[in-house]
Amino acid sequence: MDGATRSSTVRTEVRSLLDGWVEAVTAQDLDRIMACYVDDVRAFDAIAQLQFTGRDAYREHWKICFTMCESMAFEIHDLDITAADDVAFAHYLARCGGIGPDGKEHLGWMRATVGCRKVAGRWLVTHEHYSAPFDPESGKALFDLTP
């Protein structure tokens, strides 16, 4: 059985991990977000740094992110999951943002890729990558793109 024909059960398990993460993010529930990751998670987030390595560094980054938005919105669109029995990756477009300190809503489309492993019977995120593309002429991130 190759990756394309893995049982839908495995993809459902991975989808459940992603949905739980989204619930935790929109609730700004830091403990529940962090429970989705392995200890040595390596994250390429959309802002600020090239990478965040390990749970402690990433947790600090999440705390800072929450200070930027009074509320968080996050929706998964156009999700693809490719899964073996204990290794999977998912990619999707995210409609995300929130209400900033200026009281204005900042929502836009971004891209997300999530790498997962099944550890002791439970799917966890080992890697994630969020980004907005940029305009090579202006060097500015492109927040107004739509799928």
Interaction site with a second copy (CB under 8 A): 2-4, 6, 42, 44-51, 68, 80, 82-89, 91, 93, 109, 111, 113, 115, 117-119, 126-127, 129, 131-136, 139-143, 145-147
Nearest CA to 72 out of 113, 40, 33, 17 is that of 33
- Least separation in angstroms between residue 141's CB and a second copy is 4
Tokens (6 digits) for 88: 């999977």
In whole angstroms, what is the distance from residue 59 CA to residue 47 CA?
14
Looking from the CA of 22 toward its CB, the CA atoms found within 13 Å total 18
Paired residues of 129 in beta bridges? 44, 113
Name residue, tokens 């919105």: 73
- Least separation in angstroms between residue 104's CB and a second copy is 14
Looking at the Cβ atoms of 56 and 80, the one nearer to a second copy is 80
- Least separation in angstroms between residue 24's CB and a second copy is 21
Q: Are the C-beta atoms of residues 88 and 14 closer than 8 Å to each other?
A: yes
Looking at the Cβ atoms of 73 and 93, the one nearer to a second copy is 93
Looking at the Cβ atoms of 44 and 62, the one nearer to a second copy is 44
- Least separation in angstroms between residue 56's CB and a second copy is 18
Helix (H) or strand (E) holding 78: strand 71-83
Looking at the Cβ atoms of 32 and 61, the one nearer to a second copy is 61
